[in-house]
Amino acid sequence: MMRTRTILTIGAILALAVLPSCHKDKSSSSTLPYLDGALSYSIPLYVLGGETYTLTPKGVSNPKTGNVGYYWYSSWENKKDTTKTETGKGDGSWTIVTPQKTGNYSLTCYAYATDFSPLYTIKNFNVIDTTVNTSLTGTSYQTDSLTLRDSRDGGTYYLATIGGKVCIQNNLYYKKAGVSYQNSPAVDPLFGRLYTWEEAMTACPSGWHLPTDAEFAAIATAASGTACSAGKEFEGAAGSLMADAVFLGGKMWTFWPEVKITNKAKFSAIPIGYAVDQEVSQKFSGLNSYAAFWTADQTGNTGIYRYFYVDKPNVYVATGDKKSFRASVRCIKD
């Protein structure tokens, strides 16, 4: 059985791709000292068009006077906006309205002061559209058949019948539990939310439940035509459960030399990875490489989950801490 630790070693490399950058201004004189600290501000990685965000810079200080000024650039407006002069009032916050057009955009914040070289930080974000088959395509969601409308928060789920069991095709995104991928609620309807095992056990709507590993085995058997058993790898079953999904123009399952993706069962697994709780936040890993789904089974202090890896034809079984490891949730009708 593959343990969570093994997955984290592989996935940790992928998480580096979403880190923001902090820079020193190369155009400034190399003889000038730099302001103290590191400039930072926060905006979600994925947003909707027309949303308003107030960005507040922090982390920089002037070792001489304490006075710091700020100005900003946005890639879609291409103009300078000074929000605080060096001796002016305020905290340098900047309010933006995100572009309506989907795509990738960047923001740059500069911190400056007399007799110092500026510091600047660039952050990228993506404007997405959560309408089916827009930002995320290739899922094969059965949008022309019956759907499930979650009365608790209005979430919409597409349904498929696999081996006599009615399953939701898209990942659960019940808002009162779990966390959004990269803390970006805008992407919830596309990626679903990531839940701990304890949260997953009660996250499904009334009349639905988290599947046991035996129920996953029955789904894999029906999808692949090969007998699959609880507690063991589902050999050769991955491709029949994976969606050939494309997100923002890029394939999600990027390499699969041993995997033929058919999504025969319309389970529509997409690789949004997993997360691990840290002291005050989560570490997200495995986008475009892993899809992980909790089962209702457990062993000791760990829950059992099923996972897909991008270039392997099997569906694997592993365990994760019930309170800190986070995976996707699919629900089956009672």
Q: Are residues 108 and 173 in the same domain?
A: no
The beta strands (E) that lie in 184-273 are given as 193-194, 208-209, 246-247, 250-251
Q: Are residues 197 and 115 in the same domain?
A: no
Sequence-separated (6 or more) residues with CB below 8 Å from residue 300: none
DSSP designation for 72: E
Q: Are residues 213 and 120 in the same domain?
A: no
Strands 332-333 and 325-326: unpaired
Domain boundary among 112, 128, 144: 128
| Span 257-270, pLDDT tens digits | 889 999 999 999 99
Other C-beta atoms lying within 10 Å of the C-beta of residue 142: 15
Percentage of residues of the chain with pLDDT beyond 90: 87
Q: Are residues 138 and 172 in the same domain?
A: yes
Q: Are residues 113 and 254 in the same domain?
A: no
Domain boundary among 91, 106, 128: 128
Band (pLDDT 50/70/90 cuts) for residue 256 is confident
CA distance 138 to 141: 8
Helix (H, G, I), strand (E, B) or coil at 331: coil
Per DSSP, helices labelled H in 84-184 are none
Q: Are residues 111 and 143 in the same domain?
A: no
Q: Which domain holds residue 36?
A: 18-128
Amino acid at position 8, single letter: L
The pTM of this model reads 0.89
Q: Mean pLDDT check: name the lowest of 6-10, 68-72, 80-84.
A: 6-10
Q: Are residues 75 and 49 in the same domain?
A: yes
Q: Are residues 136 and 121 in the same domain?
A: no
120 found inside a domain:
yes
Task: Report residue 191: phi and psi, to 5°.
Answer: -100, -20
Q: So what's the pLDDT on residue 23?
A: 66
| Average pLDDT for 20-44 | 77
114 found inside a domain:
yes
Other C-beta atoms lying within 10 Å of the C-beta of residue 23: 13
